[in-house]
Amino acid sequence: MLLKVEALSKHFGGLKAVDGVDFHVNQGEIVAIIGPNGSGKSTLFNLISGTLRPTTGKVLFQGDEITAHKPYRVAALGIKRTFQTTTLFDQLRVVDNLAIGRRVNTKTGFWDALFRTARWRRERDETVGKVLELSGIIGLGDKFFDFVTTLSQEAQKRLAIGIALASEPGLLLLDEPTAGINMEETAEIIELIRKVREAGTTICLIEHKMRMVMGLADRIIVLNYGRKIAEGTPQEISGNQVVIEAYLGGKSIA
């Protein structure tokens, strides 16, 4: 079990944004978290990645507790995330973005840079090599030296995934990787996500587009009003009465 979340809750005053959620992610899986707007999906990601501190509950990664670790420590342990709105270093170029994404694997500090130590040279060469390879994987090889603002929406989304992938994380959290792009472009992003999984990265993603999730995920977790209301394979979820009511507006909720 790669990631385990136990009875995780986040209360904002009286609002229970996430309310006692349990779930786990196995090595090599694609797990999708779905749910209506405001059901606590993004809050859940923020709790796992350390952006928010949970009110109660535990997060375990590879068996070690990482609850309420700072975001940079969570990232250093190998959990990387993307944001719902495409978030990039928009003053810089593609190569810079990817190199910064890999910064967590390098230890070059002030003195290394000043005296150009062996480590400085080794890590620089290694970074250039890895980043060049990665730019090909995310399909931005020909835009290596382009400024980020000149890229299309969809290319920017691929770059955001690339920044997270650059450090070769054990677990990738994708917050709505296809929000705001058309069907054709969505297909390309899905293709990339599949490729990433085949390369051995476990993925947990939040998604709105049901059709995309059905074809992609191994397991689906459904949230509503901060609670987990269902979990199962895409077939099980699509036939689940509780889920259908939550989405289409039934009378009672869980």
Partner 1 sequence: MHEYLRKKWFYFLLLLLALVFPLFGPSRLIFTMLILSGIWSIATLGLNLILGYTGQASLAHGAFFGIGAYAVGIMTTRLGLSFWIALPLASFLCAAIGFLIGLPTLRTKGAYFAISTLAFGIIVFIIAGNWSDLTGGHMGLPAIPRPNPIPLPLAGEISFTSPAARYYLVLFFLLLTLWVMHRVVFSLQGYSFMAIRNNENLAEAVGINTFRNKLLSFMVANFFAGLAGGLYAMQLGALSPFITHHVLTFNLIIYLILGGVATLAGPIIGAITVPFIVDALFAIGPYRMVIFGVLLIVSIIYFPRGLMGGLTSLWNRTADYYRHRKDGVRHAAES
The residues binding partner 1 (CB under 8 A) are: 49, 51, 70-72, 75-76, 80-81, 83, 87-92, 96, 99-101, 103-104, 106, 108-110, 112-114, 116, 120, 123-124, 127, 163-164, 166-167
Task: Concatenate the DSSP letters of all residues of the chain into one string.
Answer: --EEEEEEEEEETTEEEEEEEEEEE-TT-EEEEE-STTSSHHHHHHHHHTSS--SEEEEEETTEE-TT--HHHHHHHTEEE--SS----TTSBHHHHHHHHTGGG----HHHHHHT-HHHHHHHHHHHHHHHHHHHHTT-GGGTTSBGGGS-HHHHHHHHHHHHHTT--SEEEEE-TTTT--HHHHHHHHHHHHHHHHTT-EEEEE-S-HHHHHHH-SEEEEEETTEEEEEE-HHHHHT-HHHHHHHHT-SS--
Number of Cβ within 10 Å of residue 225's Cβ equals 18
Minimum distance from CB of 160 to partner 1 (Å)? 9
Query: Closer to partner 1 at the Cβ: 121 or 211?
Result: 121
| Residue 76 or 214 with smaller CB distance to partner 1 | 76
**Least separation in angstroms between CB 242 and partner 1:** 33
> Closest distance between partner 1 and the C-beta of residue 218, in Å?
25
What is the smallest separation between the CB atom of 96 and partner 1, expressed in angstroms? 7
CB of 24 to partner 1, least distance (A): 23
Q: Which is nearer to partner 1, 123 or 154 (CB)?
A: 123
Shortest distance (Å) from residue 215 CB to partner 1: 28
Indicate the residue among 77 and 140 with the shorter CB distance to partner 1. 77
Q: 232 pairs with which residues across the strands?
A: 220
**For partner 1, the closer CB: 25 or 165:** 165
Strands 219-224 and 30-34 turn out to be parallel
Closer to partner 1 at the Cβ: 173 or 246? 173
